[in-house]
């Protein structure tokens, strides 16, 4: 009888080891193919790391979308906390700013050194809510953050169970000024000054109907916004990043490269939409593809298309054509560049195109 028990325990131990190995292998296969794969978590990866110290799982859904089911131990931090309306400018859903954003993160028990895993659900745009908070963290120079592929549905598909969320103890979240990357957020004046500058590639992620001016949208007060799009912008609908519109599974890296044929990863990419939410998903996907120089125009069409403004508009359809963007070469962080001297990198060769920068 005792021998039978030992055999049974041995079989169970082997199955547990194989299960853990499968989970880790699946996690690596899911994110490894993307150059920025460290920004993506699969359900299998999260199952294998849920108990890690300094790992904070964040449910970004609002009360309206929350169905009472959460990943056990998750912190509820609705993504809309990071936005507010500005009636004085007629803008809706504007970023609250870096100071307030740090207060919100600290209130929800998130420390500067934590690995933050963000999730929503496939039904609620599968990643387009999480990606807004991803952008906020990237703007603040946070090092470790991930979007959970498929959100809560991806977690359940990987065999995860649901449980109670937790109320965290408040902490001080403070990003050093030198690490906050304000360049991740641009405004209309920045974009207008760079129209026609080939260093900047503008991507309209709205629907084709919105891009062509065939579908109208409204401002904060219900007034109709102007039709059309920002001059020189190409249209890549944010929904085109999904391989499956039901599960919201992301396309493979190769398929994303095909989608962005003609995009130069060495130049700045500026995505925009109507109010920043959809653009933040494109921002996340481009970062997942390894692009370093991505700057979201967060106020988007809410600002550019406002009838009280006079920014130029065009209706001409522009299409990306050319080679598949390769794996981008990681740029050196200028703020951490070593001082000139023995061993310093050689200065770049003179000549070639020079952007107006900024």
Nearest Cα to 358, choosing from 194, 225, 212? Answer: 194
Q: From the CB of residue 292, how many other CB atoms can be counted at a distance below 10 Å?
A: 18
Instruction: Please report, in tens digits, the pLDDT of each residue of the chain (358 residues total).
Output: 445 544 455 544 444 444 444 444 444 446 779 999 999 999 999 999 999 999 999 999 999 999 999 999 999 999 999 999 888 777 778 999 999 999 999 999 999 999 999 999 998 888 999 999 999 999 999 999 999 999 999 999 999 999 999 999 999 999 999 999 999 999 999 999 999 999 999 999 999 999 999 998 888 778 889 999 999 999 999 999 999 988 899 999 999 999 999 999 999 999 999 999 999 999 999 999 999 999 999 999 999 999 888 899 999 999 998 888 875 554 444 333 333 333 333 333 333 344 444 3
Would residue 356 show up in a list of annotated catalytic residues for this protein?
no
Q: Are strands 296-297 and 40-41 parallel, antiparallel or unpaired?
A: unpaired
Q: How far is CA 294 from the centre of its chain?
A: 10
pLDDT at 284: 98
pLDDT at 263: 96
CB 320 within 8 A of CB 260: yes
pLDDT at 41: 97
* Active-site hit among 273, 285, 286, 294: 273
Query: The pTM is what?
Result: 0.84
Beta bridge partners of 314: 229
pLDDT at 91: 76
pLDDT at 49: 96
């Amino acid at each position: 009888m005792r021998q039978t028990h030992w055999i049974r325990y041995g079989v169970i131990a082997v199955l547990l080891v194989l299960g853990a190995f499968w989970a880790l292998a699946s996690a690596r296969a899911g994110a490894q193919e993307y150059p920025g794969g460290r920004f993506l978590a699969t359900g299998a990866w999260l199952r294998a790391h849920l108990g890690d110290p300094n790992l904070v799982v964040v449910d970004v859904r609002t009360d309206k979308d929350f169905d009472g089911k959460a990943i056990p131990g998750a912190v509820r931090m609705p993504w809309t906390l990071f936005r507010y309306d500005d009636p004085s400018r007629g803008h809706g859903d504007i970023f609250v700013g870096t100071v307030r954003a740090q207060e919100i993160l600290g209130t929800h028990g998130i420390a500067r050194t934590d690995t933050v895993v963000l999730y929503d659900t496939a039904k609620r745009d599968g990643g387009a809510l999480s990606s807004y908070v991803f952008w906020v963290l990237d703007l603040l120079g946070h090092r470790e953050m991930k979007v959970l592929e498929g959100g809560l549905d991806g977690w359940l598909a990987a065999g995860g169970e649901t449980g109670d969320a937790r109320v965290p103890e408040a902490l001080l979240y403070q990003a050093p000024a030198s690490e906050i990357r304000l360049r991740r957020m641009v405004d209309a004046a920045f974009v207008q000054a760079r129209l026609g500058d080939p260093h900047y590639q503008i991507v309209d992620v709205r629907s084709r109907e919105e891009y062509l001016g065939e579908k109208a949208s409204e401002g904060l007060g219900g007034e109709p916004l102007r039709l059309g799009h920002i001059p020189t912008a190409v249209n890549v609908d944010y929904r085109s990043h999904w391989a499956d519109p039901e599960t919201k599974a992301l396309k493979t890296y190769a398929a994303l490269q095909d989608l962005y044929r003609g995009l130069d990863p060495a130049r700045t990419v500026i995505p925009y939409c109507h109010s920043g939410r959809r653009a933040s998903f494109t921002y996340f996907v481009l970062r997942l593809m390894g692009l370093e120089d991505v700057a979201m125009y967060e106020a988007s069409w809410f600002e550019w298309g406002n009838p009280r403004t006079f920014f130029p508009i065009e209706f001409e359809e522009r299409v990306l054509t050319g080679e598949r963007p390769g794996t981008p070469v990681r740029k050196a962080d200028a703020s951490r560049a070593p001082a000139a001297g023995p061993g310093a990198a050689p200065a770049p060769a003179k000549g070639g195109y020079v952007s107006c920068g900024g």
